[in-house]
């Protein structure tokens, strides 16, 4: 008689992953607050897991209740709106030129948008700064 003994192996149970969801409808271009999101025990591929990743961000699309929030659904809050008058800043060495322009797109800090110089009516691209101004030309060394 042959005896087969099966070794009992104990594997740790995997803890369920957490997923960040919206608790109410959040319209596009609305800033997300702490009460707008919740963490649920579910595993959703590509979804955010930590509320701090969403709070203070702006919804890029409409977010529906009980649906996972993905990184592509959010963007930094816009500092400049389309058709807003902005300060254009050109800096090269010690030379700094400031003038006014009209934003041709909406964007947040660090994003590149098209802007029309109101003096020359020329359309140029520039990067939005933290203050809401648009830097054009060579990047300023600080």
Question: Tens digit of pLDDT for each residue in 9-31?
Answer: 555 555 567 899 999 999 999 99
Tell me what percent of the residues of the chain surpass a pLDDT of 90.
73
Domains and CATH numbers, the chain: 18-75 (3.90.1210.10), 78-136 (2.30.30.760)
- Check if the beta carbon of residue 115 is closer than 8 Å to that of residue 134: yes
Give the whole-number percent of the chain exceeding pLDDT 70: 86
The answer to whether the predicted template modeling score (pTM) of the entire model surpasses 0.85 is: no
How many DSSP H helices and E strands does the chain contain? 0, 11
Q: Give residue-wise pLDDT tens across range 82-97.
A: 999 999 999 888 999 9
């Amino acid at each position: 008689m042959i005896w087969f003994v099966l070794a009992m192996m104990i594997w740790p149970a995997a803890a369920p992953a957490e997923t960040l969801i919206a608790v109410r409808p959040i319209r596009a271009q609305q800033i997300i607050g702490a009460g707008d999101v919740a963490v649920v025990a579910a595993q959703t591929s590509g979804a955010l897991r930590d509320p701090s990743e969403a709070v203070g961000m702006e919804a890029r699309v409409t977010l529906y209740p009980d649906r996972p929030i993905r990184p592509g659904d959010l963007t930094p809050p816009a500092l400049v709106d389309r058709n807003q008058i902005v300060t254009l800043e050109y800096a090269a060495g010690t030379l700094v030129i400031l003038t006014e322009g009209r934003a041709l797109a909406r964007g947040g800090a660090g994003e590149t948008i098209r802007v029309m110089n109101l003096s020359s009516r020329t359309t140029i691209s520039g990067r939005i700064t933290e203050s809401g101004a648009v830097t054009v030309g060579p990047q300023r060394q600080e």
